[in-house]
Structure formats: structure tokens, C-alpha cells
Amino acid sequence: MGNLVKYVTSLHQSTNREYIKRMVDGKVNCMLKAKEYEFDYWDGSRRYGYGGYKYMPGRWKQVAELLIKNYNLTNNSSVLDVGCGKGFLLYEMKLLLPNLKISGFDISKHGIEHAKEEIKKYLFIHRAQKPYPFKNKEFDLVISLGCLHNLKVFELEIALKEIERVGKQGYIMLESYRSEKELFNLQCWALTCESFFNHKEWVWIYNHFGYTGDYEFIYFE
């Protein structure tokens, strides 16, 4: 099993969230719309998701720098992003390592179509719970941020085993909780989450399905 890390936590904590307001704002219908993972989820009203997920220069730079440093990535390395969204993190990594080989996939057609033009050719539509079209240990690092908690528990087995199979190193970030308060806030806020597990349960799942990479949890405090 890998290490518990904190690459995204500070970025996550910089956003203010009104938990009760989201819960009482027709949340079931908002969840159904969000799970389409198209325009409304990314660039529609905040009640359906991000409320406008635009590229902000430097926002992901610190995360990119930490990944490059801690996984010893160079211009000869390769990275796969599972659930890459619009690919902004991969783009930041390419700015730092111009010859880095990148690949990313996401369920969202809208997300891929609105990626930065410079990296769009490296992205494609695919589901995290389906076998990946890559060779064993093809990538020096496989990352997945805010994706796997959107899978049902029986789908996690395939995703985690595929991440382990195609990557020499791994890093997964997802939503979790440590207390009843954080669980309540998570249930209020989450629109697409299918697997509500506390941090200890996630570690058990990782071990059970053979994932040996690093991991991070973001909490809704």
C-alpha cells in the first residue's frame, strides 16, 4: 500500500460551500442532471456542478509540481489521467515538462471537447470502470482525481485493478469523511458520488482490490 498524501487538500479547502442550500435546492433533479456529465455539470448553474469550470492559469501548477517532484517525472516520463475532465492538470504538467507523454480519458464529451487545444489530441472518451486500452506498466504514473467515488463498489474493482496494471506508480484522490458531520456535508454537497465510504473503508477497498499506489482524501468540513 502506498502513502497518504496531501496534494489537492489546500486547493479544495480554498472553496466556500453552502451545504444546506444545495441540499434543499431540488437536489434529486440536480443530481440527475449532473450525472449526465455534460454542459450543465461543467459550465451550467452551480446547482448542477462546477458552475463554470474554466482554465485559470496557475491554479493547478502547485499540484503539477508536487506530482512531478514526488514521482520523479522527467521529459521522458509518461502520465495517464483517469477521469481527466477538461485536462487542466495534464496541461499544467506539460507546461512544466514539455516533452512529457500524457494521456487522459473521461466519460464526458463536453469535458474533452472543452480541453485546452494544446492537449486535446491526447484525450479520449472512456469509462474508468472499463478495461483500459494500454499495455501493462505503460505509464510511469497513473493519476485519478475526484473520479472513482462516482463508481459503484462493484465497478471499483475493475478501475483499481486497471490503474494498478497500466501504471508503475499511482495516485488517487477522492471524497470521503471522518465524522458524522463530514458525512452529512458530503451527502449535502455531492451530486455524482455513488460510493460514500469513510477513509478507513477506502483503505480497506484499496487493499482488497490490490491497489498499491498513493492516495488522498478530501473532506467537507
The pTM (predicted TM-score) of the whole model is 0.97
Percent of the chain with pLDDT over 90: 99
CA distances, 203 to each of 43, 95, 137, 179, 210 (Å): 33, 33, 23, 16, 11
What was the pLDDT predicted at 1? 83
**Residue 143 phi, psi dihedral angles, 5° rounding:** -120, 155
Domain positions in the chain are 9-214
Low-confidence ranges of the chain (pLDDT < 50): none
DSSP 74: -
**Complete DSSP assignment for 99-153:** T-EEEEEES-HHHHHTS-TTTGGGEEE--TTS--SS-TT-BSEEEEES-GGGS-H
What was the pLDDT predicted at 172? 98
pLDDT averaged over the chain? 97
What was the pLDDT predicted at 219? 98
79-94 confidence digits (pLDDT tens):
999 999 999 999 999 9
What was the pLDDT predicted at 103? 98
Of 216, 88, 208, 92, the residue nearest 149 (C-alpha): 216
Q: Write the class of the CATH domain 9-214.
A: alpha beta
Query: Going by C-beta distance under 8 Å and a sequence separation of 6 or more, which residues neighbour residue 7?
Result: 63, 66, 67, 171, 173, 216
Nearest-angstrom CA–CA distance, 83 and 80 = 10
What was the pLDDT predicted at 84? 98
